[in-house]
A and B are shown apart, each in its own frame.
Chain A
Amino acid sequence: MDIPSLIDSLHPLEIKVLTAFGATPGSVLETEQLAAATALEPSQLSMAIEWLLAKSLLVVDKETVTPIVSLTPVGQEYYEKQAPIERVLAAAREVTTNGQRLTIQDLQAKEGLDPSDVSKAVGRLKKEGVLLIVQGGCIESTGRASQTAETVRTLLRQLHGESRELQSFQESERQVIQDYAIKRGNAKEPFRVDDRVTRSFKLSPTGVTAAEHLATQGIAEEVSQLSPELLKDGSWRTKRFRKYTISLRAPRIGTGKKHPYREFLDTVKTKLVSMGFREMRGTLVETEFWNMDALFMPQFHPARDIHDVYFVKEPTHATKIAEPFLSRVTKAHQDGGRTGSTGWGYRFDGERAKRLVLRSQGTAVSARTLASSPAVPGKFFSIARCFRYDQVDATHATDFFQVEGIVLGHDINFRTLLGLLNLFAREVAQAKEVKFLPAYFPFTEPSVEMHVRHPRLGWMELGGAGLFRPEVTLPLGVTVPVIAWGLGLDRMAMVALGIHDIRELFTDNLELIRTTKGLF
């Protein structure tokens, strides 16, 4: 790395350390001197030093290890209440003076001392000739002074509140310190000896060059954020902009985004419009008439059972059904009327036709459109919310979208129906291979089911279609042939969105909605 880009990559803390060497880049500085020169917190300083060492801009000149003595909490306690050795000695002197007998057990009980402390103190004092163990395990003072006890007392006093270098003590004191310092396996001692590592640093040759560069370019102040002020007075020119570590993960932010399933439906909507389809809208509540009767589903049809449709509680019936549709549909059901059909041959119930239901099929919207004198030729679609009276599970939702519509025209026939379905296969499912199977819908004849080979999903049913029966179109005033089609897109959407439960299309899990990728 060349020097300028090296300098650019430096953190402000590193610069502070480098510039601390100042005019004499060759000098050797100790950590404390660096701390003074940079005015950095110890943690910041050590961070900067480690970084510079890692970059080989700084090298360790010398490393000195200084043992430091200090009091432990136990030492603090001894300072306040005397060390065990002194207390043992004092007790021994007392019994010797008044002629009483004192065993080591008595001593433990009387002074409330730890057995190990007592035995250690007795051992030491005996060795010094200060104590005697006489017959019966009793202790007696010899009247001599204890060097150890005095040294301990002095050390406790000297170290109280400050630590000192081990070397500053006399040899005899150092010996006592070593004897009474905490060691592995024995933490209950008054003194501790820690190694203080002092390092001195000097700049490496590259470090020297870098420091010289920093010195000559002047100490450009480093800034992290470009501000309006910097731009306004042009002072950005004299600033350094710290470089970021751009490989870090970006923080998360909330997004404004369309719902992935809705986006999928939007795509379908756009495709249909681009193919010349006009949107139709309907109502969530429909009459049985438009939901079923107008579609030539006989009133005794099994799918019209109480267990297949949601009925409205209040009001139960519409106020009326528009004429001439009601009479014409009635006739179509009963004897075919003028449709060329025999009809279903039953007595049509006009009251039943007014019964209000929750729309159960999008075809209801198509029926309404047929009755509204639609343009011929004409293409219409709707993405209609429908309701199915069913137990909810992974493949059944009570609430779902149906994508369907109609095509009216003089050139509409079975072959153009297949042509239209081919177009859907290509445009909506990007499928090149299509299979047409005979199917049954109450309102179309002939009826087709379309299976396509989706580029990723393999063979799947894409939709159903057919030519509306004349019993449907003629009573609604349409005399040209009409294609009715419907696309089953839920499965495609589910696979594309990577979900396996249809209820997840309408999930209430915001995290899931935020993180599901849309399709495009």
Chain B
Amino acid sequence: MPTISIFKSDFEALLSDRKRTSVPLEQLEEWLMLVKGELKGHNPETGELRIELQDSNRPDLWCCEGIARQVRIKQRGKLSAYPFLKKKPKAEHKLLVAPGMDRVRPYVAACTARGYRVTEEGLAQLIQTQEKLADIFGHKRKTVSIGLYQLAKIRFPVTYDLVKPDQAKFTPLGMETVMTLSEILMVHPKGLEHGHILEGQDRLPLLRDATHQALSFPPIINSREVGEVLVGDEDLFVEVTGTDQSMVVLTLNILAANLADRGAVIEPIEVRYPYKTPLGKSVVTPQDLGKPRTLTVETIEQALGQPLGAKAVQKALEVYGYAVSVGKGTVKAKLPPYRQDLMHAMDVVEDVAISRGYGTFAPEMPAQFTVGGLSRIEQLSDRSRELLVGLGYQEIISNILGSPEDYRSRMRLDGTDWGRMVEVGNVMSLSFSCLRQWMIPSLLRVETASSRAFYPHRIFEAGEVAIPDASQELGSRTDTVLGALSAHATAHFSEIHSSLDVLFYHLDRSYTLVPLAHPSFLEGRAGGIMVDGVRVGVIGELHPEVLERWQIAVPAVAFEVNLSNFTERA
């Protein structure tokens, strides 16, 4: 879900190549519906707009050029084809891949872009696009990474080589001195950040030109000599490397379309592999990988709940950038070259709806009759809650994710079966590192914080707990339990017992209490609550040491009943 920053004047310039008109913000917000974008901020002084793009399958939209393009197509009624997709690469425009690269970082795509003089705004967009694509779409450069270079300094053919870490050296961006690849991995911030991608490789990728000049060490860092694009540069070399060929090519297609939209002439490059790839051994990039997909108009109409006809569908898709031809009751639709997100007919359906505007579809009530209702456990829980309220208890709600300290140590349960819990492996904070296995600690949490609230304190919670259980597929059960606690100067076992008694009477269950040695309660003042020979809960006076550990200064009595045990038997 990237949030990007664009400049309003840049956006306006990209919308029209003739006269630039100022776009009102309301108009912009309406257009943003076409790209699932939301305006998050606007600085009227600088003209900077902050836009969040929702669609993680549409990396082409994570830039000013992409948003402007989607609007422009709608205004002009059709996407004008990109000529570079039909061009043959110049004979010298070759990129040669070294043998063995298939085991390191197998794919590369590249092109040149001439005749666009890089402006400040344009450069900011280029860098932002490069970062967002590599970071989010390219999984922090693992799948896809991008390099931009000054074309004038490069002699073709370029080679995508594998070298020993100490064999090659160049001055990386951000450094003053020449470094070997292994030095870059050990010292350079980008090396430290992304070096793990190449872990275990004894030879590392290196892009070099015909003069053996290093262009970059993908996916880590560019050469400072060649790989730094500056405002005013006119001719660029663009490359993408990665582990997924279609993503690599798509990324290059997006970059090429963006530069073309800014006026650059894109020239393709032929990549030659010494091994087989899904696109062959010789791959010209950029390349339109889209395949037309035929779908019936009926499919679209049914999904949208609206008769449209083939013509209307064609129109809607064309103004959204598709290439469409109409057959008998069918449309054949092909995505533009900068998109690759058509997995299912439903993806086309959504584009028809977005293109026509969600506001053009009249809402209609689903007419089919269904019977509503609550689960048995929820009914039982609600009934118990009503009863506890009637008994004068205040309901509370607590986090389920908490700490072993609260759920176990303070309850004197360390090393006991009572203290077993579902614990988190990737702990962020100890305060949120395990699921509660019982309810009473949640009640004590409130009691600890409420010594200044007037007494008596009678509180309860009905909610879920997770109980480790090796017999379950998931290794634990989620049970719904009810816990109640009374705390005041004269809190006494018989008081909480009376509450429990009323509860069970009205839940229509008979129970008995049997003495229970439970570390959280005073010995001789705790019981197991037994129903049909099964223990469904505990009751007792909390152990003074427990109260001390919770810093509670009044006696407290409590019970806890596992309601899930009830329904399972019912």
Interface segment among B146-154, B162-170, B321-329, B382-390: the answer is B382-390
- B365 interface residue per 8 A CB criterion: yes
A470 smallest CB distance to B (angstroms): 6
Most buried by B among A256, A422, A440: A256
B275 smallest CB distance to A (angstroms): 19
- B343 interface residue per 8 A CB criterion: yes
Interface segment among B79-87, B233-241, B451-459: the answer is B451-459
Q: From known contacts A318-B473, A510-B457, infer whether A419 and B364 are also in contact, taking CB-CB under 8 Å.
A: yes
Of residues 264 through 285 on chain A, the ones whose CB sits less than 8 Å from some CB of chain B are: 266, 269, 272-285
- Size range of the interface on A? 35 or more
B-side contacts of A416, CB under 8 Å: 305, 363-366
Evaluate contact between A418 and B361: CB separation under 8 angstroms: yes
A-side contacts of B425, CB under 8 Å: 310-314, 316
Contact of B374 among A269, A342, A389, A510 (CB under 8 A): A269
B-side contacts of A339, CB under 8 Å: 344
Mask, A348-363, CB within 8 Å of B = 1, is 0000000010100000
- Size range of the interface on B? 35 or more
B-side contacts of A470, CB under 8 Å: 344, 346
- A229 interface residue per 8 A CB criterion: no
- A469 interface residue per 8 A CB criterion: yes
A249 smallest CB distance to B (angstroms): 14
- B127 interface residue per 8 A CB criterion: no
Interface segment among A35-43, A67-75, A155-163, A377-385: the answer is A377-385
Q: From known contacts A310-B424, A399-B400, infer whether A276 and B371 are also in contact, taking CB-CB under 8 Å.
A: yes
A-side contacts of B397, CB under 8 Å: 259, 261-262, 505-506
- A207 interface residue per 8 A CB criterion: no
Q: Which residue of A lies closest to B461 (CB)?
A: A259
Give Cα distance in the complex from A241 to B338, angstroms: 90
Most buried by B among A255, A282, A420, A445: A445
Interface segment among B185-193, B351-359, B512-520: the answer is B351-359
Of residues 410 through 433 on chain B, the ones whose CB sits less than 8 Å from some CB of chain A are: 422-426, 428-429, 432
Give Cα distance in the complex from A272 to B36, angstroms: 29
Mask, B455-478, CB within 8 Å of A = 1, is 111110001101000100111111
A330 smallest CB distance to B (angstroms): 16
A-side contacts of B345, CB under 8 Å: 340
Give Cα distance in the complex from A415 to B385, angstroms: 40
- B449 interface residue per 8 A CB criterion: yes
Mask, A436-472, CB within 8 Å of B = 1, is 1111101001111000000000000000000101110
Give Cα distance in the complex from A415 to B428, angstroms: 43
Most buried by A among B36, B397, B424, B435: B397
B-side contacts of A440, CB under 8 Å: 36, 54-57
- A258 interface residue per 8 A CB criterion: yes
Q: From known contacts A445-B349, A446-B346, infer whether A283 and B474 are also in contact, taking CB-CB under 8 Å.
A: yes
Evaluate contact between A259 and B396: CB separation under 8 angstroms: yes
Contact of B459 among A272, A275, A414, A510 (CB under 8 A): A510
Give Cα distance in the complex from A254 to B389, angstroms: 11
- B177 interface residue per 8 A CB criterion: no
Of residues 27 through 60 on chain B, the ones whose CB sits less than 8 Å from some CB of chain A are: 33-34, 36, 54-57
B-side contacts of A287, CB under 8 Å: 474
Evaluate contact between A508 and B394: CB separation under 8 angstroms: no
- B494 interface residue per 8 A CB criterion: no
Evaluate contact between B401 and A399: CB separation under 8 angstroms: yes
Q: From known contacts A302-B139, A320-B473, infer whether A438 and B33 are also in contact, taking CB-CB under 8 Å.
A: yes
Interface segment among A8-16, A52-60, A186-194, A404-412: the answer is A404-412
B323 smallest CB distance to A (angstroms): 18
Give Cα distance in the complex from A505 to B143, angstroms: 41
Of residues 222 through 274 on chain B, the ones whose CB sits less than 8 Å from some CB of chain A are: 246
Q: From known contacts A254-B392, A306-B426, A421-B363, infer whether A284 and B466 are also in contact, taking CB-CB under 8 Å.
A: yes
Contact of B394 among A255, A275, A285, A438 (CB under 8 A): A255
Mask, A275-303, CB within 8 Å of B = 1, is 11111111111110000000000001110
B-side contacts of A312, CB under 8 Å: 422-425, 475
Of residues 297 through 330 on chain B, the ones whose CB sits less than 8 Å from some CB of chain A are: 302-306
Evaluate contact between B475 and A438: CB separation under 8 angstroms: no
- B373 interface residue per 8 A CB criterion: yes
Give Cα distance in the complex from A410 to B368, angstroms: 9
Q: From known contacts A387-B401, A420-B365, infer whether A302 and B359 are also in contact, taking CB-CB under 8 Å.
A: no
Give Cα distance in the complex from A148 to B426, angstroms: 99
Evaluate contact between A436 and B398: CB separation under 8 angstroms: no
Q: Which residue of A lies closest to B34 (CB)?
A: A438
Q: Which residue of A lies closest to B295 (CB)?
A: A340
B305 smallest CB distance to A (angstroms): 3
B284 smallest CB distance to A (angstroms): 22
Contact of A276 among B350, B372, B391 (CB under 8 A): B372
Evaluate contact between A272 and B359: CB separation under 8 angstroms: no
Q: From known contacts A284-B400, A377-B368, A436-B358, infer whether A256 and B363 are also in contact, taking CB-CB under 8 Å.
A: no
Mask, A216-257, CB within 8 Å of B = 1, is 000000000000000000000000000000000000101111
Q: Which residue of A lies closest to B135 (CB)?
A: A302
A474 smallest CB distance to B (angstroms): 10
A-side contacts of B26, CB under 8 Å: none
A462 smallest CB distance to B (angstroms): 14
Contact of A279 among B246, B378, B447, B464 (CB under 8 A): B378
Evaluate contact between A422 and B363: CB separation under 8 angstroms: yes
A-side contacts of B359, CB under 8 Å: 436
- B448 interface residue per 8 A CB criterion: yes
Evaluate contact between A418 and B385: CB separation under 8 angstroms: no
Evaluate contact between A448 and B303: CB separation under 8 angstroms: no
- B570 interface residue per 8 A CB criterion: no
Contact of B389 among A257, A283, A342, A409 (CB under 8 A): A257
Of residues 13 through 35 on chain B, the ones whose CB sits less than 8 Å from some CB of chain A are: 33-34
- A488 interface residue per 8 A CB criterion: no
Mask, A329-346, CB within 8 Å of B = 1, is 000000010011111110
Mask, A497-519, CB within 8 Å of B = 1, is 00000000110111101100000
Give Cα distance in the complex from A226 to B396, angstroms: 38
A-side contacts of B361, CB under 8 Å: 414-415, 418
Give Cα distance in the complex from A255 to B389, angstroms: 8
- B75 interface residue per 8 A CB criterion: no
Q: Which residue of B lies closest to A269 (CB)?
A: B374
B-side contacts of A448, CB under 8 Å: 358
Evaluate contact between A256 and B388: CB separation under 8 angstroms: yes
Give Cα distance in the complex from A282 to B261, angstroms: 50
Q: Which residue of A lies closest to B385 (CB)?
A: A258
- B393 interface residue per 8 A CB criterion: yes
Q: Which residue of A lies closest to B347 (CB)?
A: A445
- B12 interface residue per 8 A CB criterion: no
B62 smallest CB distance to A (angstroms): 12
- B509 interface residue per 8 A CB criterion: no
Evaluate contact between A467 and B346: CB separation under 8 angstroms: yes
Give Cα distance in the complex from A421 to B362, angstroms: 12
Q: Which residue of B lies closest to A287 (CB)?
A: B474
Evaluate contact between B450 and A509: CB separation under 8 angstroms: yes
Mask, A386-429, CB within 8 Å of B = 1, is 01010110000111000000010111111110111111000000
Q: From known contacts A312-B475, A437-B33, infer whether A409 and B377 are also in contact, taking CB-CB under 8 Å.
A: no
22 residue pairs A–B, Cβ–Cβ below 8 Å: A259-B395, A274-B372, A276-B371, A276-B372, A277-B370, A279-B374, A280-B375, A284-B435, A311-B424, A319-B475, A377-B366, A398-B401, A414-B303, A414-B306, A415-B362, A418-B358, A418-B361, A436-B358, A438-B353, A440-B57, A445-B349, A513-B395
Q: Which 6 A-B pairs have the closest CB atoms?
A: A413-B305, A510-B450, A415-B305, A446-B350, A418-B363, A377-B368
Additional 20 contacts, C-beta under 8 A, given A418-B362, A438-B33: A254-B392, A258-B389, A272-B372, A278-B370, A284-B464, A310-B401, A313-B425, A314-B475, A319-B475, A358-B424, A375-B370, A377-B366, A389-B426, A415-B304, A416-B365, A418-B361, A419-B363, A437-B358, A508-B445, A510-B457
